[in-house]
């Protein structure tokens, strides 16, 4: 199953690469007819640099790890009510701190 999935992904990557190549040639022809070859090269270069910048920005985003808490029933059996209140208070501060970093 994994081999079939990998083959489909590779075929998709090949097809999209060929498609982008044809679209680049079509864009080059259109832009060079519209203005000049220098204009076409500038516009196509900016498009590819912009796409790369967006890809780098998307790839460099920090992932937020979700902490898993135990079930409330088991937690209540193991801790005193005061400990549960203190633990909830500390977890609330931690969640608020994590949310303020995302903005």
Q: What is the pLDDT of residues 16-62, one digit of tens each?
A: 989 999 999 999 999 999 999 999 999 999 999 998 888 888 888 76
Measured on CA atoms in the order 15, 21, 24, 29, is the torsion positive or negative?
negative
Q: Note down the domain range covering 39.
A: 2-59
- C-beta of residue 65 within 8 angstroms of C-beta of residue 87: no
The conformation of residue 43, written as its DSSP 8-state character, comes to H
Q: Do the domain assignments include residue 67?
A: no
pLDDT at 3: 82
Strand, helix or coil for residue 63: coil
Contacts of 33 (CB under 8 A, 6+ apart): none
Assess whether 80 and 35 both reside in one domain: no
In the chain, the number of structural domains is 2
Task: Please give the Cα distance from 43 to 32 (Å, whole number).
Answer: 10
If asked whether residues 48 and 85 sit together in one domain, one would say: no
On the question of pLDDT at 69 being above 70, the answer is no
């Amino acid at each position: 199953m994994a081999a079939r999935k990998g083959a489909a992904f590779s075929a998709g990557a090949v097809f999209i690469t060929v498609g982008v190549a044809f679209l680049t040639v079509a864009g080059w022809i259109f832009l060079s007819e519209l203005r000049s070859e220098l204009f076409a090269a500038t516009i196509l270069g900016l498009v590819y640099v912009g796409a790369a910048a967006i890809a780098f920005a998307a790839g460099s985003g920090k992932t937020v790890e979700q902490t898993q808490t135990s079930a409330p029933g088991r937690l209540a059996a193991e801790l005193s009510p005061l400990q549960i209140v203190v633990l909830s208070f500390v977890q609330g501060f931690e969640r608020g701190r994590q949310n303020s970093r995302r903005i």
